[in-house]
Structure 1
Amino acid sequence: MRALCATDLSAASKAAIENEACLRCLRRVGVDTIHLVTVVPANVHSGMPGVNFEERRRRGLDRYRAVIENAGFDVEAHVVRGTPYRRINGIAETVHADLSVVSSRGQSPLENRIIGSTARNLARTTVVPLLVNRVERATAEPEVLRERLFRRVLFATDFSENADRAFDAFSYLRHATEEATLVHVRSPKDTDVDAGASPRERLAEHANTLENWGIETQLEVRHGDPADEVLAVEAEVTPSTVLVGSKGRSRVRRLLLGSVSEEIVARATGNVLLVPPPRAV
């Protein structure tokens, strides 16, 4: 598997990329090649006196490269110019990445719904599964908040096609996952009643798959606002990562700021693995 790790060379990025436990987790799920990407914003001019931004970024990536190679990965570095989320998505497609990783500092009381602009835009537009690796905020030397990325996974599903696609990520996560909580939230706005199996029965089908892989599983069926309820479960079970599809059933919601998946990415305490739908051909 190939992972793309995006960095702005900040302390938060350094904490996420150089964390040994995180790197071991990536190895366990099958990642053997890491593409390090840093983007010089288009509005930063290379001709500014005394400053060579590309060279500075390249030296920064070389430091990361040494750490990651010592952890047993093949590494390629990319220093590019442009709009960060667009270039990151473009490189992810070009190198056929299986996973993109971006760090994001955790919440503060004054920024309850705010994440970094690059992480936010990637959550809206990512072309491959996106891991938002949460890092401490308000400290000069931050640490990642959940080192064992996939040890305890909270999977949120509305039983849509893309939620099923997100569940398929367990095919590789299972090599690092020991516990999983499966949650379905029925929103007051849901007026349709699914025929056939109940939500708990449908969750139990997923649980059976995970338990056959040796993953201890528990089920949660909630009623209320989907994002609020998923985040309430996260607070109760403190998973390493919340796994969710980036698009649900609503054709309108996918176009709106504040979708359930975006709310979860912005407000979750720990990491979020966001799985997008297949790209239209």
Structure 2
Amino acid sequence: MVNEDRTPRVVVGIDGSDNGQAALEWAAAEAERRGVPLRIVHALGMPLIVSAYGGPARFEPTEEIRGQATEVLRNAVEHVGRARPGVGTETVTALEEAPLALLRQCHPHDLLVVGTRGMGTVKAVFVGSVSVRVAAQAPCPVVVVPSHGGAPATTGLKRIVVGVDGSRNGRRALGLAVSLAAEAEGELVVVHSWEVPYPYDPVAMTAAGYQPQEDLFEKQSEELVAELLAEAIDEQRDDVDVDVTVVRTRNGPVNAVLEAAEGADAIVVGSRGRGTVRGLLLGSVSQGVLHHSAIPVVVLPRHADED
């Protein structure tokens, strides 16, 4: 059942794996910070039956399968109770596949948290993993939490990195990053990657006997970032005081964001910006960051509520 009462929640998908555990721990910490309930979802992925004489239906799980699901959820609730006793929990056992189950549990005011593997590896980005599918289609921000051999992921938000490119989704991602940094009283690192196009490429210009005009692109980058930051801060409902660091570089956008994220707690990206590849569930930059990031990545899907 979709969260129709508009009460904000943190929703997390678990499957009993180390990656699911990392997502659970991050989600519980964030629910505690926000003071909202934690909804824990375990999807069974029961086969779908289609009959010519009736609507589609799913196989009912056996008692053994239901028992395993109950055990997974009970362990999760007990873990949250020990680690974050102030967090209220509710559990859902869904018959559907994990992506559909998680999407049905989300509301625009929620935050959805998933692991990188277990329910579906993020390295399978071109064939549609759980994390990529929900990050592209959810009605709310999605956090993809990596796990390092079962070690818990960082749960703070003291240093947040966001990539900007001037696109509408990029602007919305920056707005979300400003909001998260302000709530956590943390530092915001804004990354803008710009390229010098031909014929202003330094090598080509030098070979042709001209001086490259890189200063022009540097200035344009500076002006764009300043405009985007002013816009994002102005759109906040409350006055915000965020410590902002700006990184402007000619490095490729994926590498630029990942390098700036060393030592950070989270990366914020839009689901699609400029320079995306047609046919991908997510934009090429978002996919690249998810594929290689060692820290949680917050994705703001293009379907997410504007609020």
CA deviation vs aligned residue, 1:202-230 (integer Å, no higher than 9, x gap)? 323555649x7343221111224322322
Structure 1 pair 154–201 and aligned structure 2 pair: CA distance change class (3 A):
same
1:255 aligns with 2:279: yes
1:181 aligns with 2:189: yes
Equivalent in 90, 93, 99 of residue 79 of structure 1: 93
C-alpha separation in 1, matches of 2:286 and 2:131: 13
How far is the alpha carbon of 1:87 from its aligned partner? 1.7
Unaligned runs of 5+ in 2: 1-7, 49-58, 200-215
1:27 aligns with 2:39: no
CA deviation vs aligned residue, 1:179-238 (integer Å, no higher than 9, x gap)? 1210011246799xx99x83223323555649x734322111122432232223224xx2
Match for residue 126 of structure 1? 138
The residue identity in structure 1 corresponding to 2:136 is R
Match for residue 71 of structure 2? 59
How far is the alpha carbon of 1:164 from its aligned partner? 1.5
How far is the alpha carbon of 1:98 from its aligned partner? 1.6
Equivalent in 147, 150, 156 of residue 155 of structure 2: 147
The residue identity in structure 2 corresponding to 1:103 is G
Match for residue 227 of structure 1? 254
Equivalent in 221, 227, 235 of residue 199 of structure 1: 221
C-alpha separation in 1, matches of 2:122 and 2:144: 16
Identity among equivalent pairs (%): 21
Query: Quick check: 2:253–2:285 contact (8 Å CA) kept in 1?
Result: yes
Match for residue 41 of structure 2? 37
TM-score, length of structure 2 as denominator length: 0.71
C-alpha separation in 1, matches of 2:185 and 2:147: 21
Match for residue 297 of structure 2? 272
How far is the alpha carbon of 1:123 from its aligned partner? 2.8
Match for residue 102 of structure 1? 114
The residue identity in structure 2 corresponding to 1:256 is L
Query: Quick check: 2:10–2:30 contact (8 Å CA) kept in 1?
Result: no
The alignment yields a C-alpha RMSD, in angstroms, of 3.4
Match for residue 218 of structure 1? 245
Unaligned runs of 5+ in 1: none
Structure 1 pair 233–266 and aligned structure 2 pair: CA distance change class (3 A):
same
How far is the alpha carbon of 1:175 from its aligned partner? 1.8
C-alpha separation in 2, matches of 1:166 and 1:157: 8
C-alpha separation in 1, matches of 2:168 and 2:279: 17
C-alpha separation in 2, matches of 1:78 and 1:112: 24
C-alpha separation in 2, matches of 1:180 and 1:130: 19
How far is the alpha carbon of 1:25 from its aligned partner? 3.9
The residue identity in structure 1 corresponding to 2:18 is A
How far is the alpha carbon of 1:60 from its aligned partner? 2.0
C-alpha separation in 2, matches of 1:143 and 1:272: 17
CA deviation vs aligned residue, 1:6-63 (integer Å, no higher than 9, x gap)? 11121332244246xx6344433x2511111110023496566xx5212321232123
C-alpha separation in 1, matches of 2:152 and 2:278: 30
Count of aligned pairs between the two proteins: 257
Match for residue 167 of structure 2? 160
* Bigger CA radius of gyration: 2
TM-score, length of structure 1 as denominator length: 0.77
The residue identity in structure 1 corresponding to 2:250 is H
